[in-house]
Structures are given as C-alpha cells and as structure tokens.
Amino acid sequence: MDNETIANIDSSLESLDSEISKIRKTIKNFQDTRRLLSASLLSSHYVRQEIEQNTRTGSGTTTRFALKEVATLMSDALKHRDTNYHRLAFSTTLFPWKDPNPYSESPNLLGLRIDVCVRNGTFAKPYYVLLQRQKESGNALSSTLQREKRSSMSLSIYRHTIPPFIPMDKLAHRYLPQSRLSRRQGEDADEVEGLKSKAKTRKQDINAFARHLRKELAAWYARRDSISWLQERFGVTDVSHGTDGNSGLTEDDRHRTTQAGGLVSLAATSLEARYVRIEWKDGRVGRFKLSNSGLVERAVVIGERGRDKQTELVLMGGDKRVESLVTRLLTV
C-alpha cells in the first residue's frame, strides 16, 4: 500500500474512534437523564399513588411483573431518599455496638458514624469510630470514687476507619483524656483527692471530638475536590473520569485555559492533598500548600534561573482563595 492509502486508513480509524467516543458520551448522557427522571418521578407523591393503585388493580402476568419491578424501584428510591435525608440532617451519629470478639473484656462498644458530602452531591463512604470504656486498673478505690468513675463513662478509641493522616491520637488526647484515679501503693487520701480534682479539670467531650473529627474529614474532601476542580479548569485531566460532570466548560474553553495557563501537570503530592505540585510547559516546577479553609498558605516555584518569586506572589496573592487561583495563574 502506498502512503496515500495508509493515510486514508488512519483518517478513517480516527473518524471511527471519534464517532465511538461520541456514541459512548451520548449513551452516558441518556443513562444520567434516565436516572434523574426516574428519581424525580418516584419522588412524586402522585406518581407513587398511581403505581400503588395500578399494582393492586393490575391484571395479566406481564403487567403484574412490570408493576412489581416498578414497585421495587420505588421502594429502593424511598429508602435512598430517607437515607439521604438522615445524612443531611444528622451527618454524625452515635449507635451502640456489640464486639463480635468472644474474648473481649469490654464487649459493649459505642459507635460513631460520620458522613461527608462530596463535590458532585453524593456521599462518600461512611467513616466509623468504635469507642470502648476505659478498663479499670490498680487497687480498688472507695465506693464513692468507683461510682463516680463508672458514671463518668471514660471512653477510649478501640477501632476506626479514619485515614492514617488524620491526627486521631492528638484529637483523642485533647477531647478524650484518660483519667487516672487508681490508688497506687503508698498514696494517701490527699493524693487520691488530688488525682480526682485533676481528672475533673479535663472532662471528656465526645461532642467536640466528633465535631472536630468530621471537620478534618470534610476539609480533606474539600482539598481533594479543589484539586480536581483545578485540574478540570486547566484541562490537565480527563473530565469524563472526574468527579464533577457540571463544570460548565466546553472542550474549546478547556483548551484555551490550558494554553493561557501553560500548565502540563497539576496534582496532589500525597493522599492527604495538603500540597499540590504544578509543572509549566517552560520547565518551571512549583508547589503550594492548601489550608483547611481553602487558602493558598505557602508557595514555591523554581525555574531554570532559580526561584521564581513573581509567580510565588501570584499564587499567594489576591484573596488567596483556591477558587480564584485560575484567574491569577492566567496572568503568569
């Protein structure tokens, strides 16, 4: 085959790949539209009444089978709706839990569930923390101290599914301090009273513990979503595999943004998504730090001639918000 024939074949293959990509995108849009319309219809009280009435009065094997399938979908939609209502109203919940370990010394546990809503409106996988009562140790104190110790219900972390970079030990030390009221050998009553008063000054606060733990998780997801949003705005990642399908940018807009910003890479340096690495087409490499509130705290940019302080000032300039970072970088 001559070069012209090969070029025609390559052009035909590219055209077919483009058509296949468009068809897949159309199918995905239809599936999303169907899912949205189904959820909207099943959430209507009138539609549910009609389905229930037709289910009772329907005749024929095919009709009964179809109505049964619709009724199942409606039941699942109602359960999903109630679950989302609960997650929105009660993002942090406590529940009792029984330790399945038959050799556990404290089988009665207190569970903590935390739900976080992500950028595309869905909920991430729930996180759990299991708390157990602090094991009593040492010689027995007076009956009064024992009753006070049991009533205080001193808790400690038993198991959890929190990511390892969340400072669980620090949060537990701050909000779930462990009391030490056991009498040691040689201690008199005054020393015991001193320990008792010291324990009273630092009471456990499980509400503050849950609140700050959820704040850390929500900040982590906010940093991840911010980086994903920046990647989409600069066109350095495939939006079809991103987390947000409503970025509002066309392919031409993303191309113009990429050309103006001159970026070839933008990604988090670790799972914590605390630091972000940027690489420009001219070889410059930078890194900036994201705070929990969405601010660019520090930035370093290095080029062929050393540090690029002008770009560093641009990254940390203005209101320092990550949302306005796109506009600031377009001026570099």
pLDDT value of position 123: 86
Confirm if 299 and 287 have CB atoms less than 8 A apart. yes
Distance CA 301, CA 288 (A): 9
Helix (H) or strand (E) holding 43: none
pLDDT value of position 15: 86
Confirm if 109 and 154 have CB atoms less than 8 A apart. no
Confirm if 231 and 239 have CB atoms less than 8 A apart. no
pTM of the entire predicted model: 0.68
Distance CA 309, CA 290 (A): 18
Q: Where are the alpha helices (DSSP H) in 153-271?
A: 168-175, 189-201, 206-234, 251-261
Tokens of 55: 């289910």
Helix (H) or strand (E) holding 183: none
**Kind of pairing between the strands at 263-268 and 275-280:** antiparallel
Inter-CA distances, 50 with 36, 45, 59, 191, Å? 20, 9, 15, 74
Q: Is 216 helix (H, G, I), strand (E, B) or coil?
A: helix
Q: Where are the domains of the chain?
A: 3-88, 92-204, 216-329
**Kind of pairing between the strands at 263-268 and 92-98:** unpaired
Tokens of 150: 């049991």
pLDDT value of position 241: 40
pLDDT value of position 252: 53
pLDDT value of position 75: 76
Long-range pairs for 311-317 at CB < 8 Å and ≥24 separation? Answer: 311/284, 311/286, 312/286, 315/286, 315/288, 316/288
Query: What length is written for the chain?
Result: 332
Distance CA 46, CA 248 (A): 34
Confirm if 266 and 234 have CB atoms less than 8 A apart. yes
Q: Residue-wise pLDDT tens for the chain (332 aa)?
A: 667 777 777 788 888 888 998 999 999 889 888 877 777 777 777 877 777 776 666 555 556 666 667 777 777 777 877 887 888 788 899 999 999 888 888 889 999 999 998 887 788 899 999 999 876 544 444 455 555 554 456 889 999 999 999 999 999 999 998 765 444 445 455 555 555 555 455 788 999 999 999 999 999 999 999 999 999 888 885 433 444 444 444 555 555 444 545 888 999 999 999 999 999 988 899 999 999 998 999 999 999 889 999 999 999 988 899 888 888 887 76
pLDDT value of position 33: 84
pLDDT value of position 190: 57
Helix (H) or strand (E) holding 298: strand 296-303
